[in-house]
Amino acid sequence: MYSILLSLLVCQLAFRPAVSDLHFQVFGDWGMGNKQQKLVAMAMMKNAVITKPNFIVNVGDNFYKHKDSDGEKQGGVNNLEDPLWKEYFESVYIDYLRNIPFYSLLGNHDYMGNISAQLLYHSKSPRWYLPSPSYHITVQVDEQTTALFVFLDTSPIIVDYYKHPENTKMADNLKKLDPKQQLEWLEHVLNTTSANWRFVVGHHPIISSTTASLLTEQDMNMVDTIIQKYSVQAYFSGHIHQLEHHNDNNIDYFISGAGATGRSYVTNPKGLRTLNWFGQDAGFLNVTLSKDLMTAQFLGTDLSVLHTSHTPII
């Protein structure tokens, strides 16, 4: 069901002029409208002027609350006309970022609002890419090298989300999706790709240093089994409002969920086993991909380099 839109995306991207190296930034959990969101956005813009990223990866939780006729709701947008589009997105990610695609995902907060509006928003703002809750793109890194990005919609995988009585809207939205079919689709995409670099992006982490995502990580195990089986090089996520880098069985796991706030959590000893680095301040990930090496740097709002990781192609 996703394939028509996807082939359009892939064709469009295949016409990039001859290039060497691919640059992108990964950020998430940003739609709060607070000062920290603007500081991260400013840093992303300044870094974009230096690195000229090909695109931005947005791991979701795009809107944390919205107002509708019965008052304030927990997340998402009401419709295409919701003023939050301008307030939290268009007027925040400006300048150099205006003409760069934002490959986006829905976070659990987005599921508390109108999902269709987020899927349709591309028609109003071409840089917003969210053709369906999950999709994949393949991009050229150089003339010989390609990179696959699978954008996976992880909220429907989280069993607990169907049970929240206070979030009937979320459960209603999720019930329309088929998580099992999505995992089969993920497996099919990874099994049939010929891309040299293979990445999976999801809102929820598979591993984190915190106890806050213990429950969701249990469900995300199913995704882990698949990405391990097909040897993807990295998994990018958010959800936890920190910056984290883990490595397990030759896969790098990045959490970039500090697009509007950084905070501390209770530590999960199990997550420490795979942890390379974590930071509790707001920031984002600055990534450069060449034919055989990925360099990923966590940057703070002052553009200081907080942590650098090198992933070789395997």
Tell me which residues touch ligand NAG (CB under 6 A). Answer: 47, 50-51, 79-80, 114, 116-117, 120, 191, 229, 286, 288, 295, 297, 299, 303, 305
Residue with Cβ nearer ligand NAG (272 or 305): 305
How far apart, in whole angstroms, are the C-alpha atoms of residue 231 and residue 225? Answer: 10
Give the helix/strand (H/E) hosting 172.
Answer: helix 168-175
Least Cα distance to 117 among 96, 89, 157, 145 occurs for: 89
Quote the least distance from Cβ 148 to ligand NAG, whole Å: 15
For 298, the token pair is 């966590």
Residue with Cβ nearer ligand NAG (79 or 132): 79
Residue with Cβ nearer ligand NAG (16 or 229): 229
Residue with Cβ nearer ligand NAG (5 or 45): 45
Quote the least distance from Cβ 36 to ligand NAG, whole Å: 18
Quote the least distance from Cβ 149 to ligand NAG, whole Å: 18
DSSP state of 145: -
Radius of gyration of the chain measured on its C-alpha atoms: 18
61 — alpha (psi -120 to 50), left (phi > 0) or beta?
A: left
Residue with Cβ nearer ligand NAG (48 or 152): 48
Cα first-last separation, the chain: 31
HSE at residue 304, side-chain half, CA atoms within 13 A, is 6
Quote the least distance from Cβ 111 to ligand NAG, whole Å: 13
How far apart, in whole angstroms, are the C-alpha atoms of residue 69 and residue 116? Answer: 18
CB 259 within 8 A of CB 29: yes
DSSP-derived 3-state class of residue 88: helix
CB 295 within 8 A of CB 265: no
Residue with Cβ nearer ligand NAG (47 or 242): 47
Quote the least distance from Cβ 211 to ligand NAG, whole Å: 32
Quote the least distance from Cβ 117 to ligand NAG, whole Å: 4
